[in-house]
Structure 1
Amino acid sequence: MHLDILYEDEYLIAVNKPHGLLVHRSSIASDASEFALQLLRQQIGKMVHPAHRLDRKTSGVLLFSLNREMDGVIQPMFANRQMSKKYVAVLRGHAPAEGTIDYALKKENGMMQEAITHYKTLALAEIDLPFGKHSTSRYSLVEAQPETGRMHQLRRHFAHILHPIIGDRPHGCNKQNKLWKETFEMDTMMLHASSLSFIHPVHNTRVDIEAPIQPEFARVVDILGIPSDLVPVPSLTTALDM
């Protein structure tokens, strides 16, 4: 697998991680044989260090440091909210036009952590797909900006407001996920890290990195009849043609 490089300088490199690819080896995913960390090392012939994490099922901007010194600088920037992250997601139902989800989340050790997500709805869709007692199915394309970076924050927050992300099995709607798999052969989670912005710690210049949506995300948007110009980043296919 060849990773699409979105940004590179002498200190940092960012790739567009596909859905389903782990960032690095994990004991909880013994079925995986490819990992973004190893793939990128082989691709560029250099050591790389992941600056943050993306869930296996989430695609999009994934940033790495090219040396341990930079890794020690860049990781705290995520913890200290010096990174502006945006995501796009497809949700079940028609979500409000915009909102802030301020809902604390429990860590694995039982402690509660503050968690805040801002979002706005980019498009609403209704398709001729019967679901339960309804003759149609409704969906929303949203852009989300997490203020904090908690485990599965966006997945848990959108489930909390009863608009779960399509394709999210642990936190989403299993009936909707089954419907999409049976109807469209689609079981990818519709969550994509679309952009990452920050002030470069060495150059002191603003860095804006955007990741085109992956083909499966673009296919879902097309199924929903959402115009491509409403998606804040282009599809991977469109970007390659440019």
Structure 2
Amino acid sequence: MERKFYIVDEQDAGTRLDVFLSKKTGKTRSAIGQLITRGNALVNGTPRKAGYRLKAGENVIIELPEEPRTDALIPEPIPLEVLYRDQDIIVLNKPAGLVMYPAAGHPVGTLMNGIAHLTDRLATVGGPLRPGVVHRLDKDTSGVVVVALSDRAYYPLVEQFKERTIEREYLVLVHGEMKEKSGNIAMAIGRARHDRKKMSTRTNRPREAVTHWEVIEGFGAATLLRAKLATGRTHQIRVHFSATGHPVLGDRTYGRKTALKLGSGTLRIPRQMLHAHILGIRHPVTNRELRFSVPMPDDMKRVVDALKRTIKGESR
């Protein structure tokens, strides 16, 4: 068994035990519920039911069964939208809900499993389960991602990300109304002090992080922004906007509830409203400039359309 330990912070106070542990471990609520029923989860040393509402400061321990380990990337016929492909790189439009590569809790069904099905030509560097991966998008973030298919492409791509010569632009919906039309967020980011799976501006090991943003359209309760990364820290956009009081809509880790109050009703947000809209790179072998752009996905469009309808209704 693998034992995990968590401290409930103010943001998670009031959350059901099964929901909290599902979010922390990446396992389904059903799987967590079974573990809770077996007595594998304790709150302050006491077994609790799945529906128990947690309080800030409580200690939560869960024992997880060890998952079978594999060092082989299993090809799977996962539908993928390929934007560009040659013998050295592949560029895709990753859908929300798809994990980048196998890891604990996600041994299969990932982007890399799908790429392995498309081609048996994969880089030998980066690790057996993530060959050629030079950057990543979170599971619930959609948009453009590039993967190296050859070793000769891998290292130059890594260097471009390191030297910050990559163009990365995101579309993001955040809570509330921005006071300015554009701005910069310069807040160092590192691992959160009490939860190693989260990033925070309050950290013992801060690393420089800068995000440029500009308003595309405001809706009162929310704002559609264009965000550009000057650095590429883990969860950077999500942490930065959360720290400024405008968390990404639908962000269960750094944000608020997944329903937005609009007038007399509520709008359900299906996932974090963050989309990697543009990726510009220099081809690692030919040195040719490449720029890929993918439009806002349908689930995000529906939220924007609902916000627009609300604004029109209020202006009548």
Could you say whether these structures have the same fold, taking a TM-score greater than 0.5 normalized by the shorter chain as the test? Answer: yes
Aligned partners of 1:197 and 1:12: how far apart in 2? 13
Matched ranges for 1:60-71 at <5 A: 60-71=143-154
Where do 5+ consecutive residues of structure 2 fail to align? 1-77, 124-131, 197-202, 310-316
Identity of aligned residues (%): 30
Aligned CA distance change for structure 1 residues 196 and 110 (closer, same or farther; 3 Å):
same
Matched ranges for 1:124-143 at <5 A: 124-126=218-220, 138-143=221-226
Q: Please give the root-mean-square deviation of Cα atoms over the aligned residues, in Å.
A: 2.0
Deviation per CA, 1:47-95: give whole Å up to 9, x if none.
Answer: 2522211111111011011112211221121111011100000011112
Matched ranges for 1:41-60 at <5 A: 41-47=116-122, 49-60=132-143
Amino acid at match of 1:100: N
Amino acid at match of 2:89: L
TM-score, normalised via structure 2 length: 0.62
Matched ranges for 1:1-242 at <5 A: 1-27=78-104, 30=105, 33-47=108-122, 49-95=132-178, 96-107=180-191, 110-126=204-220, 138-174=221-257, 177-179=258-260, 183-225=266-308
Deviation per CA, 1:159-204: give whole Å up to 9, x if none.
Answer: 1111110011111123xx2447x94443311000001112223222
SS for the counterpart of 1:225 is helix
Q: Is the 8 A contact 2:270 2:299 kept in 1?
A: no
Amino acid at match of 2:211: T
The Cα shift of 1:38 comes to 0.8
State the number of aligned residues.
210
Amino acid at match of 1:97: K
Shift >6 Å, 4+ stretches: none
SS for the counterpart of 1:216 is helix
Aligned partners of 1:75 and 1:16: how far apart in 2? 20
Aligned partners of 2:302 and 2:102: how far apart in 1? 29
Q: Is the 8 A contact 2:88 2:152 kept in 1?
A: no
Aligned partners of 1:150 and 1:166: how far apart in 2? 20
Where do 5+ consecutive residues of structure 1 fail to align? 127-137, 227-242
Structure with the bigger RCO (C-alpha within 8 Å, sep 6+) is: 1
Q: Is the 8 A contact 1:6 1:210 kept in 2?
A: no
